[in-house]
Amino acid sequence: MTIDELARESGMTARNIRAHQSRGLLPPPIVRARTGYYGPEHLTRIRLIQDMQGQGFNLKSIERLLEMGARSGSAQTLEFQRTVLQPFGSEHPEVVDGDGLRGPFGDPLDPKLIAKAERVGLLKPIGDETWEVPSPTMLRAGRELVELGIPLEHALAVAESINKHTAAISKEFVKLFVKDVLQPIRDGKAPDNGDLAAAGEAVERLRPLASDAVQASFGLVMTRAVERQLQKELS
């Protein structure tokens, strides 16, 4: 592909492609008759950069990650890294301003509640009275709890507890993947394209399995907890 064709395919301007090249984020094209030509590895790397930027990585961090994990520059290596770094959830972050938070967070906004929500990860400040909401579902759940008469401070405490326990669960799934998928590759030889493809497929299969397992377990545990509490109340 020429640089214009690569720009159309990737949705990135030719100017930004050249800027990425100057930073060392993209390898140089193959030059033939004074025209630069780009291959699938360039497109894969651009998509990897776009994915990481969408997840909040700045260009300096992306540069370090590429240096550490994709020195070979092969399309298979970059595709595997892009697969691993893709979010496990399907939610898209939203941006809200102070008006969008008034009500559950008070009017005027309660700085203590805002600080608590930022610490929990419910809000990420990005400007003057402007926040990114990584999980709009969590924010909507908080609003509904407040409408039920539950103080927002209590709802945020529950959110903090959820984060704590899901972090532990996530750590166990990562350990499982590293031990049973990556370690056999490490113990053998340098990973070839087939190994990377298998590992990438394992990541893709892990996404719904992890979510389904957590949801199923929560349903069972929550049912037992409600039954125990109901027995106490009736007695």
Cβ proximity of 123 and 93 under 8 Å: no
Q: What is the mean pLDDT of the chain?
A: 84
Q: Band the pLDDT of 82: cuts 50, 70, 90.
A: low
**Torsions phi, psi for 96 (to 5 deg):** -130, 155
Least confident of 81-95, 98-112, 168-182, 184-198: 184-198
d(CA 86, CA 47): 11
Whether 123 shows a pLDDT value over 90: the answer reads: yes
Cβ proximity of 167 and 122 under 8 Å: no
Domains along the chain with CATH numbers: 3-84 (1.10.1660.10), 94-155 (no CATH), 157-234 (no CATH)
**CB proximity list for 7: less than 8 A, separation 6 or greater:** 13, 14, 17
d(CA 154, CA 125): 22
pLDDT of residue 192: 61
pLDDT digits (tens, 9 = 90+) for 210-234: 889 999 999 999 999 999 999 999 9
Pick the more confident residue, 76 or 106: 106
Would residue 200 be called left, alpha or beta, if left means φ above 0 and alpha means ψ between -120 and 50 degrees?
alpha
Give the CA distances from residue 73 to residues 37, 40, 180, in Å, rounded to whole numbers and listed in that order: 16, 11, 26
- Can you name the residues that pair with 37 across neighbouring β-strands? 30
Q: Band the pLDDT of 191: cuts 50, 70, 90.
A: low
pLDDT digits (tens, 9 = 90+) for 19-76: 888 888 888 999 999 899 999 989 988 988 887 777 667 777 777 767 755 555 556 6
**Structure tokens of 93?**
């972050």
**CB proximity list for 73: less than 8 A, separation 6 or greater:** 27, 41, 45
Percent of the chain with pLDDT over 90: 39
pLDDT of residue 60: 77
d(CA 143, CA 94): 15
**CB proximity list for 23: less than 8 A, separation 6 or greater:** 59, 63
